[in-house]
Structure 1
Amino acid sequence: MLSQRWRWNLQRLTKRLWARATLFCLLGIITALIANVLSPYISYRLSKGLGADAVESILTILASSMLTVTVFSLSTMVSAASAAANGATPRATRLLLEDSTAQSALSTFLGGFLFSLVGIIALNSNYYGDGGRSVMFLVTLAVIGMIVVTLVQWIDYLARLGRVGETIDLVEKTASTIMRQYVEDPDLGGTRLVSIPSDALPVTTNSIGYLLHVDAGQLSAISDELDADIFLATRPGTYCSPVRPLAHVLPRGQDFDEQEATRKILKAFSIGDDRSFDQDPRFGLVVLCEIGCRALSPAINDSGTAIDVIGTLIRVLSPLAGIDREDREVKHPRLFVPRISLEDFFEDAFLPLARDGASRVEVGLRLQKAAAALASMGRPELTTAAEGFAASALDRSLRALEFQEDRDRLEREAFRSETH
């Protein structure tokens, strides 16, 4: 059985454009070559009546057209990624390039090109008999049908690709998925960390970068092997350095080798140069917030997009109202994991928007409504965090707004909980 880390690495690999394209290319080549294997099942009369003689002409047309479509589609994706980086945020381009619709379209076109190319080579080398040519003819028709369906879907997708609204929806989909996963299992299957014992030994790394993934299952196995409790000091998304411990370990047995324990524990942590959405619910909030801040910049001056982002952030944060469930199964009792504070969530989602939109009354009003919406979800801690943010955002806006009526309106509609 694969460990969490291997599954995570495999998942990252499958998101790469070349991985899916390679798979489709191999399928295209295998499909072209396997047609001759099926030729004995085609009768002579049927092989003469299927129009198999036209297969080479069809494959020639298919090869030339698929190469053109593939190059055009790839250039369109590059342009869309550039537009998303300039109009939204560079952090969103990865999601565009990892989108399954785009990858499937490009892979289908490239696979169709290689299928037709290998088919032409096989035909001209007399690889197929009459039955094989008939099978190739039928398979070619099926491939054309698949390409037509993919092309229609691709045209609809191209009409939206790279637009700011589409980019926001794409980031929201990913951020919401990761947030729901966090709410479902905020402790990574371990025990919620309250505090780290003072006599626990720190585990540090020489690597510098963002923590991308923590293999909780591997850490649990290590804790049993070492007869020690492991206390995480960081979560995925944290910027790591040699001066910041990744974890602390508290040995319970007598024979404990600190150096060997550190070596084993560090294998469960994956550190990289760029932050990842996986296991990091805060990163999706950061990316959405960046899109809103870009819209508020003097060069764009688009309050409407910023307001749209605020509404999106409310939807992404809303699952936090149900995080206090007590029926979760503790799979790793010797692994203690810190939770993300609600204040950190609010800071990632709204603080830059409150700063950049302080002089815009429409943005200030929407931030107050966002705080009220999240506070109304019935969780006291969420209400407290929302009230603290609302007060801070109100103070920023009152200092930045010049028109007295705007200040008066904002103060009237500011969110204040009923307990204050």
Structure 2
Amino acid sequence: MERILDLFDSLPKTVLQKGRYYTRKLWVRVTLMGLLAVAAIGVSQLVEQLIPDDLAKSLGGVSADRLLNLIANAMLSVTIFSITVMVSVYQSSSTQWTPRIHRLIMQDRTTQNTLAVFIGAYVYSLLGILLRELGVYTDEHAFVLFWMTVLVLLVIVVYLVRWVLHLQGFGQLIDISRQVEETTRDRFKERLSQPCLGARPFVSDQPDKTRAIASWESGYIQHIYPEAMNAVAKEHEVDIYLDANIGSFVFLEEPVLHVHQRGDDLDWDALCEDVRGSLIIGDLRTYDQDPRFGLIVMGEVGSKAMSPGVNDPGTAIDVITRIGRILSDYKDETEATPEEVLDYFYVRPLDPTDLLRDGFGAISRDSASTLEVQQRLQQTLSGLMQHPDKGLSAAAKEFAIKELERATQALVFEPDREALRASAHPSVSGD
């Protein structure tokens, strides 16, 4: 009974996490909109039976046919055009900035919703035409079908206007940078709102006499269902320690988790099988549950901007500012307390040194000889040194000292070196 209660307790959050994961898929939204179109046809057929004959005959079936044919012809062309625009933006963003960008653009809600509405409207029109040809909707009983089609047209117009407005900035650098920043910041806040994913912080070595669960495939740790993992640990009377954080790459047979047994009996095979259902390993890193990946992608955008083929210091400066804004939300996960602590599961907290390296590492290296970018980097790090969290403040100071040394060696003009030192925090420059 206790096991069943634990499973039911962890089920809602696990289902919610999985649901959010799948709703980001384009095919899911298209399928849902197609089902909604089928439901609309079915509802209109039911409502038609309640319409008085005099009112039902006030509109002929020819009126509905015209609208249905209009939607069928227009939606096919508009959908093909929209898909062409999407593919073009994906290719250009991958080539110009980083291939990791296009996977975020593919999850753009406005684009997915618009395509889903267009395809759903196309399905609706085809079903309407088919039912008219089969005689299900006769000329005397097409009143509701006509007005339902008018409603579909209104929805199409609204989403068409939204799509046109969205295309004005879709795929442009400012729009892409803002999307990456918002996604990374949301994942960052989400992680800090549930420190260590709601588990206990894993800040030291695991206890003695632990047993390792090896990776069942090579890949990145993409997602963890912490409530389900805690329920598995409680069921088997063990403590589970996650060695690597989300986004880490693990090889086949490399230890991923360590298990410390609490009880006397342990079904090891059953435990391993249950654990595999609560941890997803894949071939690519994802933004979900992995704020460090978003910082890396932003760093890649800034680094690519400093390449000789692009040579755009302004973009690198903009990215540095955005990364600094994200990191300003940092909180020490070991000092925060989640709403409900998962007592049987341990996760390593985010390390501020890793966060700084993920965000600024590539930019600082590739812009070492560009004064303006290095000045903004030192100014941003100086701001982070004032952060109330001592760990982030100390890590920012250490990073600033190292990057100031790198830049002063790369800059060959002495006045540039002096200007850079003036931009750094006094404790970094030694003034």
**TM-score, with length taken from structure 1:** 0.94
CA separation in 2, counterparts of 1:268 and 1:278?
15
Q: Work out whether 1:333 is the aligned partner of 2:343.
A: yes
CA separation in 2, counterparts of 1:279 and 1:86?
26
CA separation in 2, counterparts of 1:51 and 1:261?
66
Secondary structure in 1 matching 2:136:
coil
- 2:148 corresponding residue in structure 1: 139
- Cα 1:327–1:34, aligned 2, differ >3 Å: closer, same or farther? closer
Residue type at the aligned position of 2:141: G
CA separation in 1, counterparts of 2:272 and 2:127?
53
- 2:192 corresponding residue in structure 1: 183
Note the alpha carbon deviations across 1:129-152, whole angstroms, 9 max, x for none: 345311011011111111001000
Q: Work out whether 1:116 is the aligned partner of 2:125.
A: yes
What is the aligned length? Answer: 420
CA separation in 1, counterparts of 2:68 and 2:115?
19
- 1:89 corresponding residue in structure 2: 98
In the alignment, which of 216, 219, 236 is matched to residue 226 of structure 1?
236
Shift of 1:115: 1.0
Secondary structure in 2 matching 1:305:
helix
Note the alpha carbon deviations across 1:191-250, whole angstroms, 9 max, x for none: 111211243222211310000112222222222222222211111101011353211111
- Cα 1:268–1:32, aligned 2, differ >3 Å: closer, same or farther? closer
Contact 1:3/1:218 (8 A) holds in 2: no
Shift of 1:329: 3.5
CA separation in 2, counterparts of 1:18 and 1:58?
27
Alignment of 1:234-383 (within 5 A): 234-242=244-252, 244-321=254-331, 323=333, 325-383=335-393
- 2:402 corresponding residue in structure 1: 392
- 1:215 corresponding residue in structure 2: 225
- Cα 1:36–1:258, aligned 2, differ >3 Å: closer, same or farther? closer
Secondary structure in 2 matching 1:98:
coil
CA separation in 1, counterparts of 2:256 and 2:181?
29
- 2:85 corresponding residue in structure 1: 76
Q: Work out whether 1:415 is the aligned partner of 2:395.
A: no
Moved more, 10-19 or 148-157: 10-19
Residue type at the aligned position of 2:39: I
CA separation in 1, counterparts of 2:142 and 2:134?
12
**TM-score, with length taken from structure 2:** 0.92
- Cα 1:321–1:331, aligned 2, differ >3 Å: closer, same or farther? closer
- 1:161 corresponding residue in structure 2: 170
- 1:43 corresponding residue in structure 2: 52
Shift of 1:51: 5.5
Shift of 1:322: 6.5
Note the alpha carbon deviations across 1:306-341, whole angstroms, 9 max, x for none: 111111101211110465654434421122211121
- Cα 1:186–1:416, aligned 2, differ >3 Å: closer, same or farther? farther
- 2:179 corresponding residue in structure 1: 170
Shift of 1:367: 0.6
Once superposed, what is the RMSD of the aligned Cα atoms? 2.0
Secondary structure in 2 matching 1:37:
helix
In the alignment, which of 204, 219, 223 is matched to residue 214 of structure 2?
204
Residue type at the aligned position of 1:402: V
- 1:31 corresponding residue in structure 2: 40
CA separation in 2, counterparts of 1:57 and 1:183?
55
Moved more, 255-264 or 311-320: 255-264
Note the alpha carbon deviations across 1:91-146, whole angstroms, 9 max, x for none: 11112111111011111111111111211121222211345311011011111111
- Cα 1:341–1:139, aligned 2, differ >3 Å: closer, same or farther? same
Contact 2:25/2:107 (8 A) holds in 1: yes
CA separation in 2, counterparts of 1:148 and 1:377?
48
CA separation in 1, counterparts of 2:278 and 2:53?
61
Secondary structure in 1 matching 2:365:
helix
Unpaired segments ≥5 residues, structure 2: 1-7
Shift of 1:158: 1.0
Secondary structure in 2 matching 1:270:
strand
Moved more, 20-29 or 75-84: 20-29
CA separation in 1, counterparts of 2:148 and 2:269?
60
Query: How many percent of aligned residue pairs carry the same amino acid?
Result: 33
Secondary structure in 1 matching 2:222:
strand
- Cα 1:141–1:360, aligned 2, differ >3 Å: closer, same or farther? same
Secondary structure in 2 matching 1:320:
coil
Q: Work out whether 1:58 is the aligned partner of 2:54.
A: no
Contact 1:87/1:164 (8 A) holds in 2: no
Unpaired segments ≥5 residues, structure 1: none
Secondary structure in 1 matching 2:119:
helix
Contact 2:247/2:293 (8 A) holds in 1: yes
Residue type at the aligned position of 1:356: D
